[in-house]
Amino acid sequence: MLYTNLRDAAGATVAVRCEEGRIADIGDLSGQGLGGQVQDGGGRLLMPAFVEPHVHLDKTLYGEPWRACTAGPTLRDYIDNERRVLAAQTTPIAVRAGRLVERLLCYGTTAIRSHVDVAPDIGLAHVEALLALRETWRDLIDMQFVAFPQTGLLCRPGTTDLMREAMRMGVETVGGLDPAGIDGDPDGQLRFIFALAEEFGAGLDIHLHDKGELGACQVERIADYTQGAGLGGRVMISHAYCLGMVSQARLAGIGRRLADLGISLMTSAPAETPIPPVEALTKMGVTVCCGSDGIRDAWSPVGNGDMLERAYLTAYKYDWCREAEFALALDCATGQAARAIGLADYGLHVGARADFLMVDAETPGDALCRRPAQRRVVRAGRVVAEDGRML
């Protein structure tokens, strides 16, 4: 398959030849013959497919009747409220999550990392549902899962055994949640989850909402454990609001360690809460990506799954307006997100998997600011979605 008449980020006319699901050639291919099937890209902007590095597919209420948040003010209130809402749900996870996966694909996302709840009240039901969902969608979208102790790990007896069982069942990454703020035992939680990761040869992805110095100390402990376990390059800290609250000098020290150890950061770019300074940390060599987190769930009905919008929100957070800044925001939803979740063969280069988009936009910045619905989504070399609809 040959896709012609596309434009790259610099405005040059390019073509992409795909063979066996991979990019066989890319660039100015005008001197080459037009063998095989040819599709005219109509001058659209060529972009790599989006990567969603942090979502909670198992808990979405996507496609269900409207529901605004009803939780109390604390993190624990939100967690308890979600248990009540999910317990009352009658639509199966496979249906709700399936609707959301279809939407993500139509927006141009072809790889997802989803956390999946593991807790005594639900056992492994969410894990079973998402593992089955992955099989259903495997030709269209890559899915990775993180075993996530949403209600607490050490403070909820029985959760550690469920975490181990989830890993045995095929979940590939070990999760964690506010080792201090939720479990009240930072070393206890970190000791367990890093030992579990070592046992399964897995990486880790830890939700860290704890703010200020309490959070910053835990980032440093996570770095210590990563170093001790030799898990450099395989650890992500999600949210890490605390890194938007520490002094410049402290940030420089922590940033250096994160870069050296290949510990990546994920932000959902919330408007009110401080977040890790994306530009400064990226310059230090830290991989920073942006993700949706919960989409239309009991935490909040906000979010639509469009990574172009998530990248826009990241740019909006900082009042970015320059092309290089827009490019960085988009990188958080593409290249850096792929690196953060360890995707091999990602990108717009020969040999990479042929997952890309043709967007009706002048430049990447234009795409970010307008977020046009006109997108053609190519997965493994073939068009799978067009202008918001699956083909």
Nearer to Zn ion, 82 or 293 (CB): 293
CB of 129 to Zn ion, least distance (A): 18
Minimum distance of Zn ion from residue 267's CB (angstroms): 11
Using an 8 Å Cβ cutoff, are 217 and 190 in contact? no
What is d(CA 305, CA 355) in angstroms, rounded to the nearest whole number?
18
Structural contact between residues 41 and 359, judged by C-beta atoms closer than 8 angstroms: no
Q: Which one, 164 or 209, has the nearer CB to Zn ion? A: 209
Tell me if 293 contacts Zn ion by CB under 5 A.
yes
Of 159, 208, 217, residue with least CA distance to 179: 208
- Decide: is 58 part of the binding site for Zn ion (CB under 5 A): no
Q: Which residue is nearest to Zn ion (CB)?
A: 293
Shortest approach of Zn ion to residue 56 CB, angstroms?
6
What is the token pair recorded at 107? Answer: 């927006």
- Nearer to Zn ion (CB atom), residue 178 or residue 355: 178
Which residues are 265's β-sheet partners? Answer: 237, 288
For the bound state, the minimum distance from the C-beta of residue 236 to Zn ion, rounded and expressed in Å, comes to 11
What count of other Cβ atoms lies within 10 Å of the Cβ of residue 203?
20
Residue 78 Cβ vs Zn ion, minimum distance, rounded to whole Å = 11
**CB-nearer residue toward Zn ion: 52 or 293:** 293
Which CB atom, from 17 or from 59, has the smaller least distance to Zn ion? 59
Rounded CA-CA distance 348/367 in Å is: 17
| Location of structure tokens 């055994």 | 161
Q: Which residue blocks in the chain are alpha helix, DSSP H?
A: 75-87, 93-107, 125-137, 159-169, 186-200, 212-229, 248-261, 278-283, 307-317, 323-333, 335-340, 364-370
Q: Given the complex with Zn ion, which of 55 and 338 has the nearer CB atom?
A: 55
SS3 290: strand
Query: Going residue by residue from 160 to 199, which x/- string records binding to Zn ion, judged by CB under 5 A?
Result: ----------------------------------------
What mask of x and - would describe binding to Zn ion in positions 294 to 313, judged by CB under 5 A? --------------------
Residue 117 interacts with Zn ion (CB under 5 A): yes or no? no
Residues making contact with Zn ion (CB under 5 A) = 293
